Amino acid sequence: MTTLLIKSIDYLATFDDARREIRDGALLVRDNVIDQVGTTAQLGSTPADRVVDLSGHIVMPGLVNTHHHMYQNLTRVMVQDDELFVWLTTLYPIWAQLDDEAIYVSARVAMAELMQSGCTTSSDHLYVLPNNATLDAEIRAAREVGIRFHAARGAMSRGKSQGGLPPDNCVEKEDAILRDAERLINQYHDSSRHSMSRIVLAPCSPFSVTPGLMKEAAQLARAHKNVLLHSHLAEDLDEETYCAKVYGMRSVDFAASVDWLGPDVWFAHAIFLNDREIQTFSETGTGMTHCPSANMRCGQGIAKIRQMRQAGVKVGLGVDGSASNDTSNMFLEARLAQLLQRVAPARYLSETPGGPGGFGGNPKALSARDALEMATRGGASVLGRDDIGALAPGMSADFIAVKLRQLGLSGAERDPLAALIMCGPFKVDHSFINGREIISRGEFTALDVEEVLASHRTIMSRIYQQ
C-alpha cells in the first residue's frame, strides 16, 4: 500500500455531503482511495510515501463528462450554420470512412483535451462503427491515457431505406450489434467500486434504430450488474416530428414504450420536455445530460435545467461531439450552463407563457456552485457511481488543482471556486485519477502530446483524401 499526502491547499472544495470548503486543506490518499480529508494542521504531519505541496492552488473533485462523440474531433468546424438533421446528413458520408485506427487516435486527442479541462471520468457514445471499427479502440486509448471511462456501445440499425436518417452504409445488423455488446460487457465491464472501465449500451436515437433494438438492448443491459443505458432524446424539434409521424407519440412516450425509463437510463439533451415528462424523469429516476455548447451551436434550444433540478431529476454535463461543440472543455460547459439558464426567458422555461419574469431572464436561475455540482456529483449520479464526484473518505482519488496566482484569477480571492467558471475556463495544473498523477504542473506525465497530434493529422489527411 502506498500513501500520498496533498497539503497546504489554499482552497479545498470537497463537494461532499456537507459541501465543505476548506482553507489550507489537505488530503490523504491510500493507493487509489481517499483516506482522510481535513486541514493541513490536522493531516500535514501524517507520514506518507509522497508529499505534494499545493499551496497557491484550488483543489476540487475531477469533473465528470456524461456525453461525447470523440471521433468527431476529426471533423471540427464543419457545417457551421445548419440545423441538426442537415448537419448529420452532411457528415455521415465522412464518418463512413472511419476505421479502428481513426477511432483510437481521435479518442486519445479527445481524452487529453478533456483531462486538461479538469475531466477525470468520461463516457463516450460511439455509434458509427464502419470498416470493422470497434469500441475496443477507445477502451485501449482510455487505459493508455489513464482516464476513468464509461464506453457506450452505440449503434444505428435503421438506415435511410428503412425510414431512418443515416445512410445505409453507416448502419449495422441488429443481431450483430447485440452480439458485440455482450462481448464487450464480458470482456471489459467492471462493476466493482472504483472501477476504471464500464460498458454502456447506447442505441443512437429514435430516428436511427428500431423499437426492437431498444427493447433488446434494455433486456441485455439489465441482465448484467451496473450496465447502464444511454441515448439521445428530445434533442431537436425534427425528432419530435419524426416520433409523432413514425410512432404516433412524443419522444418520452416512445422511450417508455420500449422500457427505456429508469435509474439505469440517461439521455443526452432532453431539451423539449414538458412538465409531465420532467415529472416522469423524476419519478422513474431517469437522468439527463445537459450539453449547452452543442445546443447553442446547432440552434436547438435551451433545456429546462432549473426546472429539472427542482423536480429532482438527475442532471449531468456533457461536452457532446467535437463537431457539434468543436471543443471538449468541461469548465466551459459548466460556465455556459450557468449563463444559459440565466438568460433563458421565463416564458420558455415555464408551461405558462408570460409567467414571472416575462420575456426576461433570471440571474438566480443557476449559481456557479450549481453548475459545478452538475459537473461533479451530478455526473457521477447520472453514471450510476457513488465513488466519484466528491472528495471524502472512501471515495476514488480523482481530483484536480488549478493555480490561483494567474492573470485570469487575480482579484477573485474572495471566491476562487466560483471563479473557476465565472472567470474561466481554465486548464488544470495538476490532475490525479485513481490516485495516479496524470498532469503535473500543466504537463502530462506520460502522454506524448506531440505524437498524439501528429497521428491525428495523419488520420485526418487520409480520411479527407478518401
User: Residue type for 388, please?
Assistant: I
CB neighbours of 446 closer than 8 A, spacing ≥ 6? Answer: 146, 438
Query: Which set of grid coordinates corresponds to residue 72?
Result: 468527431
User: Residue type for 431, please?
Assistant: S
- The string of DSSP codes covering 57-75 is EEEEEPEEE----GGGGGG
Amino acid 90: pLDDT: 85
Question: What is the C-alpha to C-alpha distance for residues 336 and 339, in angstroms, rounded to an integer?
Answer: 5
Element of type H or E holding 322: none
CB neighbours of 141 closer than 8 A, spacing ≥ 6? Answer: 104, 107, 108, 111
181 close to 188: Cβ distance less than 8 angstroms: no
185 close to 199: Cβ distance less than 8 angstroms: yes
Question: What is the C-alpha to C-alpha distance for residues 373 and 366, in angstroms, rounded to an integer?
Answer: 11
Which CATH topology does 66-382 take? TIM Barrel (3.20.20)
Question: What is the C-alpha to C-alpha distance for residues 23 and 38, in angstroms, rounded to an integer?
Answer: 9
Amino acid 352: pLDDT: 45
Q: Give the closest residue to 394 by CA, choosing from 232, 193, 181.
A: 193
User: Residue type for 287, please?
Assistant: G
Q: DSSP code of 409?
A: G
The total number of residues shown for the chain amounts to 466
Query: Which set of grid coordinates corresponds to residue 465?
Result: 483524401
Which CATH topology does 3-62+386-444 take? Urease, subunit C; domain 1 (2.30.40)
Q: What are phi and psi of 13, to 5 degrees?
A: -100, 110
Element of type H or E holding 9: strand 3-13
User: Torsion angle, CA of 178/121/231/113, rounded to 10 degrees?
Assistant: -110
Range(s) of the chain covered by CATH 3.20.20.140: 66-382
Range(s) of the chain covered by CATH 2.30.40.10: 3-62+386-444
- The string of DSSP codes covering 152-208 is EEEE----GGGT-SS-GGG---HHHHHHHHHHHHHHH---STT-SEEEEEEE--TTT
Question: What is the C-alpha to C-alpha distance for residues 194 and 173, in angstroms, rounded to an integer?
Answer: 34
Amino acid 78: pLDDT: 83
Q: Which residues pair with 50 in a beta bridge?
A: 4
Q: Quick check: pTM over 0.75?
A: yes
User: Torsion angle, CA of 210/155/147/462, rounded to 10 degrees?
Assistant: -150
Query: Which set of grid coordinates corresponds to residue 345?
Result: 426567458
Question: What is the C-alpha to C-alpha distance for residues 385 and 390, in angstroms, rounded to an integer?
Answer: 11
| pLDDT tens, per residue, the chain with 466 residues | 899 999 999 999 999 999 999 999 999 999 999 999 999 999 999 999 999 999 999 999 999 999 999 999 998 988 888 777 787 788 888 888 899 999 999 999 999 999 999 999 999 999 999 999 999 999 999 999 999 999 999 999 988 888 777 778 888 999 999 999 999 999 999 999 999 999 999 999 988 899 999 999 999 999 999 999 999 999 988 888 989 999 999 999 999 999 999 999 999 999 999 999 999 999 999 999 999 999 998 888 899 999 999 999 999 999 998 777 889 999 999 999 999 999 987 655 554 444 444 456 888 999 999 999 999 999 999 999 999 999 999 999 999 999 999 999 999 999 999 999 999 899 999 999 999 999 999 999 999 999 999 999 999 999 888 7
269 close to 295: Cβ distance less than 8 angstroms: yes
Question: What is the C-alpha to C-alpha distance for residues 220 and 216, in angstroms, rounded to an integer?
Answer: 6
Helices 100-116 and 136-145, packing angle to 10 deg: 40
Amino acid 79: pLDDT: 80
Q: DSSP code of 407?
A: G
Question: What is the C-alpha to C-alpha distance for residues 165 and 216, in angstroms, rounded to an integer?
Answer: 21
Query: Which set of grid coordinates corresponds to residue 37?
Result: 480529508
